[in-house]
Structure 1
Amino acid sequence: MTASLLWLRQDLRVHDHPALLAAIAGGAVIPVFILDDETPGTWKIGAAQRWWLHHSLTALGASLKKRGSKLILRRGAAHTELARIARETGSRRIHATHAYEPWWKHSEERLPTDIALVLHDGNYLAAPDSIVNGQGARYRVFTPWYRRLLDHMPPTLPQAAPDAVPAPASWPRSDDLADWDLLPTRPNWAAGFGAWCPGEKGAWRAARDWLDAIGDYKARRDYPAQPATSRLSPHLHFGEISPRALWHAIGERDDAGAESYRSELGWREHGINLVDQMPDYADRNGRELFDRFAWRTGADADRDFAAWTRGRTGYPVVDAGMRELWQTGWMHNRVRMVTASFLVKHLLIDWRRGERWFWDTLLDADLGSNAMNWQYVAGTGVDAPVFSRIMSPLLQCERFAMADYVRAHVPELAHLSDAEIAASHGRDSGAPGYPEPLIGHEAARARALAAWEAARG
């Protein structure tokens, strides 16, 4: 029998990998990863994630080597390279894990018809189209969707990693990972990424360390100065750990922390549920009213957007978050909400510009989560609060004790007291080297509400 191809995408692991085990059941296996910058178009993988991908593929290659196999690397349109490898090896079967981003579906549709593509569940707690109401219709609102998801829980038990992966009689050509130039060099803007450990082992190490503290998750998750979040989002995005393995690792705990974290796993999956129903959700307003909303454009808006990306808005929490993002490839979730709200409502800049910036700079950038979260904060989404709910960075700083977080990322303000840092939101701090606010809070609020009323008609 000829070898099967295992098409790896966002499932870079060997534990709990149904597609891998199905391929092994058929005989020899050729694991393949294709760096496809063509099919996604403007949604090709961002710069920060390329850093993670390099290390994750290195780790996966080592894991496969221990099992008598190897990872074949190719670059180009996925359907073209898979067809080419199939011709080189005589393979007529491809196993892969279900992926729901539109470009992956396009790749699947363009594969030659004489090659059998066998798709397996494995990257989500439940297939998106399996969560339906009593009439068989899909959900677009999180709360009823999550309640129905819980009816399907717990998920099936995760599957053990194979001891060996049967190798083919001969291997096809593979690219050298170093030739892909995924790592930054001049300048090395990823120098601050060193706290991360990409790969399956890193994912499980992070999960074990964090699960000991999950009981505090609900009470402390919104306080960025004393982070209680799992920081597992990049590992989940790249499929280095499966959601159902993590769900079962939590076990039967029913405390508030465990329940809150399960809900966050659900929130992540709700994003792909929306994209599966609306493939253009990352580009199109979920509410048509915003198609006529007067977002700011032109030189002044561009200047303000650049200040936002650099953490130079004059709002300490916003600037701390944007600098944390640039330095570490990650940002605390509560601060993501503040920074996104500030761009959309204080600066009146289209949410899609912020979404694209996050896509390029976040290690955990995920199409579904990124689009859903930005549209939620902007008020444009199908399941979002009304636009007129405008978040106050000052109140967020005070309520969630963010002064130490600001000091850690905005050294110009490190000498200020907690009260002085909070009061600097929308007012000149007087600190040398720190910018004045781009706009005052009350002026920004009035401008945003006026734009909202104009759009409503």
Structure 2
Amino acid sequence: MSDQSAPSVVLFTRDLRVHDNPALHAAAGDGPVVPLFVLDPTILDGTFNRPNRARFLAESLADLDAALQKRGAALVVRRGVVADEVAAVVRETGARAVHMAGDASGFSHRREDRLREALDDCELHVHDDSLFVVPPGQITATGKTHMSVFSPYHRKWEKESRRSPLAAPRKLTMPPGLKTGKVPAATEISKGRTAPHMSAGGETEGRKLFKTWLDQRAEGYADDHDDLAGDRTSRISPYLHFGCLSPLEVVTRAWDVAPAFTRQVAWRDFHAQVLAANPRSTRDDLRPRHDRWRTGEDAEREFTAWKEGRTGWPLVDACMRQLVDEGWMHNRGRLVVGHFLCKTLYLDWRWGAQFFVDHLIDGDTANNTMNWQWVAGTGTDSRFNRILSVSSQAERYDPNGDYVRRHVPELSGIDGPEVHAPWKLDRDVRKQLDYPEPIVDVREGNDRFLAARGKK
């Protein structure tokens, strides 16, 4: 079809890349394209927009715009209600189709519905294979809309056929005379201080990071991915969240090298299909346990200590400080601090989930919500009353205390694994170190949780 034919709009959402982008690929194969991103005030002015993600988004949009310009196009940026802005661009350009990535959240489904209503005769094509390896709804249990246990889901997930990753388009054309608008800086879309050592956004950075991990560290992943100090994780979760990397391409490239890693990517798809089938689980317990979470002054004080990394439990504090410092936390650390908040302190998982949303660059709705419900025992964990020992986790995953010393500088002078037990120091030494006593006896806290669940 000639360049003078009616164009197709590519509505970028959480697929900010040119490699293996089904929506972009389909539109480019049809003729001229209008690469469009809409700054949605529902998100920008809401509780989900936070400085770390705003900066990462701005950098990712700038990188996407540069990649499009190399191919003869540019990113068109509009601000307003998504359905209204897309419809306006369709009218302006005479576009005959809109292509976009499918997503799992209730918000994304409502956005699709509004787009269909606003587009009239223009076709809307939703590409469900853009953000997931296996889209929600593709794997189900007999007579059900989704699977609620990960292991059988993963067995089916591994056997699902997968398409080959799509190459980035070599050349793109755009309708003449279309105003592109300005790619926003982070300060234009969010105010506030970002994490001092957060990762840079964008597909270019994400592909470089993943290639380095794949070439140098992937083979040891199965044995070492829980090593907190060694940090052999890929750290690509922010790039997957914003779609700077394709999960399908990531899995394809890692399949034979690091199967334990691809299992972690399968958890993303698993959580997405649980959320898609249970959209209210962002706020409501997926499986209620009739918890009466602690509230009041003591609960608020302990929650503040948890947020600030001042609980007196070094591993917990190190993990929380890494989150604030980097906008990211090691996966093992997320498990530890989640159990500590929900089961040792017996505080509402929603408090922790919101704090993670406030700081995580990869604050994915499905993953964040369903992981928090898992650790709280209100989600898909079949052993919903399981208890993790903070001391055992420290001994196993930070045996020499290097991770703690890295993130809790007050304890940097304590040698070896003794760093995990500063409460053994006398009060004067602790005061000199400016490190608090433990805010809770772990055994007593865990017993309190089990009693509340009717298990003691």
If the length of structure 2 is used for normalisation, what is the TM-score? 0.92
Is 2:8–2:32's contact at 8 Å kept on the other side of the alignment?
A: yes
SS at match of 2:453: helix
Is 2:310–2:436's contact at 8 Å kept on the other side of the alignment?
A: yes
Q: Aligned AA for 1:107? A: R
The question of 1:394 aligning with 2:391 is answered yes
Is 1:314–1:435's contact at 8 Å kept on the other side of the alignment?
A: yes
- Aligned residues, how many? 443
Q: Which stretch shows the higher mean deviation, 356-365 or 28-37?
A: 28-37
Q: Call closer, same or farther: CA 1:384–1:356 in 2, change over 3 Å.
A: farther
1:190 alignment partner in structure 2: 195
Is 1:133–1:148's contact at 8 Å kept on the other side of the alignment?
A: no
**What is the distance in 2 between the residues matched to 1:21 and 1:163?**
11
1:209 alignment partner in structure 2: 212
Q: Call closer, same or farther: CA 1:79–1:384 in 2, change over 3 Å.
A: farther
SS at match of 2:38: strand
1:283 alignment partner in structure 2: 283
Q: Which stretch shows the higher mean deviation, 86-95 or 204-213?
A: 86-95
**What is the distance in 2 between the residues matched to 1:101 and 1:428?**
51
Q: Call closer, same or farther: CA 1:179–1:449 in 2, change over 3 Å.
A: closer
SS at match of 2:16: coil
Q: Call closer, same or farther: CA 1:113–1:198 in 2, change over 3 Å.
A: closer
**What is the distance in 1 between the residues matched to 2:434 and 2:293?**
30
The question of 1:174 aligning with 2:176 is answered no
Note the residue ranges of structure 1 that are not aligned, 5 or more in a row.
Answer: none
Q: Aligned AA for 1:106? A: R
Is 2:51–2:194's contact at 8 Å kept on the other side of the alignment?
A: no
Out of 109, 112, 134, the position equivalent to 1:108 is: 112
Q: Call closer, same or farther: CA 1:49–1:150 in 2, change over 3 Å.
A: same
Q: Aligned AA for 2:101? A: T
Q: Deviations over 1:237-274 (max 9, x none)?
A: 11111111112212534xxxx12111111011111011
Out of 137, 144, 152, the position equivalent to 1:129 is: 137
Q: Aligned AA for 1:208? A: K
**What is the distance in 2 between the residues matched to 1:262 and 1:173?**
38
Q: Deviations over 1:332-377 (max 9, x none)?
A: 1111111111111121110011001111201111111111111111
Q: Aligned AA for 2:178? A: W
SS at match of 2:353: helix
**What is the distance in 1 between the residues matched to 2:173 and 2:350?**
45
**What is the distance in 1 between the residues matched to 2:283 and 2:133?**
26
Query: Cα distance, 1:224 vs. partner?
Result: 0.7
SS at match of 1:128: coil
2:25 alignment partner in structure 1: 21
Query: Cα distance, 1:426 vs. partner?
Result: 9.4
**What is the distance in 1 between the residues matched to 2:371 and 2:208?**
27
2:422 alignment partner in structure 1: 424
Query: Cα distance, 1:324 vs. partner?
Result: 0.5
Matches within 5 A, 1:219-234: 219-234=223-238
Is 1:69–1:167's contact at 8 Å kept on the other side of the alignment?
A: yes
Is 1:355–1:374's contact at 8 Å kept on the other side of the alignment?
A: yes
1:439 alignment partner in structure 2: 440
Query: Cα distance, 1:178 vs. partner?
Result: 2.9
Query: Cα distance, 1:222 vs. partner?
Result: 0.9
Is 1:12–1:240's contact at 8 Å kept on the other side of the alignment?
A: yes
Is 1:426–1:437's contact at 8 Å kept on the other side of the alignment?
A: no
Q: Deviations over 1:202-257 (max 9, x none)?
A: 1111111111221111111111111111111111111111111112212534xxxx
Note the residue ranges of structure 2 that are not aligned, 5 or more in a row.
Answer: none
Matches within 5 A, 1:28-43: 28-38=32-42
Is 2:72–2:172's contact at 8 Å kept on the other side of the alignment?
A: yes
**What is the distance in 1 between the residues matched to 2:145 and 2:86?**
35
If the length of structure 1 is used for normalisation, what is the TM-score? 0.91
Q: Aligned AA for 1:141? A: V
Query: Cα distance, 1:3 vs. partner?
Result: 2.0
Query: Cα distance, 1:49 vs. partner?
Result: 1.0
Moved over 6 A (4+): 425-429
**What is the distance in 1 between the residues matched to 2:195 and 2:144?**
46
Q: Aligned AA for 2:106? A: P
Is 1:39–1:103's contact at 8 Å kept on the other side of the alignment?
A: no
Q: Aligned AA for 2:368? A: N
**What is the distance in 2 between the residues matched to 1:189 and 1:437?**
29
Q: Which stretch shows the higher mean deviation, 311-320 or 21-30?
A: 21-30
1:372 alignment partner in structure 2: 370
1:60 alignment partner in structure 2: 64
Q: Deviations over 1:422-454 (max 9, x none)?
A: 22379877432111111111221222122111x
**What is the distance in 1 between the residues matched to 2:23 and 2:223?**
38
Out of 353, 356, 360, the position equivalent to 1:355 is: 353
**What is the distance in 2 between the residues matched to 1:239 and 1:37?**
20
Q: Aligned AA for 1:167? A: M
SS at match of 2:137: helix
Is 1:39–1:78's contact at 8 Å kept on the other side of the alignment?
A: no
**What is the distance in 1 between the residues matched to 2:424 and 2:383?**
24
Is 1:125–1:243's contact at 8 Å kept on the other side of the alignment?
A: yes
Is 1:426–1:441's contact at 8 Å kept on the other side of the alignment?
A: no
Q: Aligned AA for 2:196? A: A
**What is the distance in 1 between the residues matched to 2:60 and 2:310?**
33
Query: Cα distance, 1:398 vs. partner?
Result: 0.8
Q: Call closer, same or farther: CA 1:447–1:426 in 2, change over 3 Å.
A: farther
Q: Which stretch shows the higher mean deviation, 70-79 or 305-314?
A: 70-79
Q: Percent identity?
A: 37
Matches within 5 A, 1:393-412: 393-402=390-399, 403-412=401-410
**What is the distance in 1 between the residues matched to 2:262 and 2:423?**
34
Query: Cα distance, 1:382 vs. partner?
Result: 3.0
Is 2:68–2:75's contact at 8 Å kept on the other side of the alignment?
A: yes
Matches within 5 A, 1:228-267: 228-253=232-257, 258-267=258-267
**What is the distance in 1 between the residues matched to 2:44 and 2:274?**
18
Q: Which stretch shows the higher mean deviation, 292-301 or 224-233?
A: 292-301
Q: Call closer, same or farther: CA 1:134–1:300 in 2, change over 3 Å.
A: closer
Q: Which stretch shows the higher mean deviation, 316-325 or 444-453?
A: 444-453
Query: Cα distance, 1:149 vs. partner?
Result: 1.1
**What is the distance in 2 between the residues matched to 1:9 and 1:278?**
22
**What is the distance in 2 between the residues matched to 1:44 and 1:78?**
17
**What is the distance in 1 between the residues matched to 2:388 and 2:229?**
19
Is 1:17–1:122's contact at 8 Å kept on the other side of the alignment?
A: yes
Q: Deviations over 1:15-39 (max 9, x none)?
A: 1111111111222111111122416
Q: Aligned AA for 2:212? A: D
**What is the distance in 1 between the residues matched to 2:203 and 2:67?**
9
SS at match of 1:181: helix
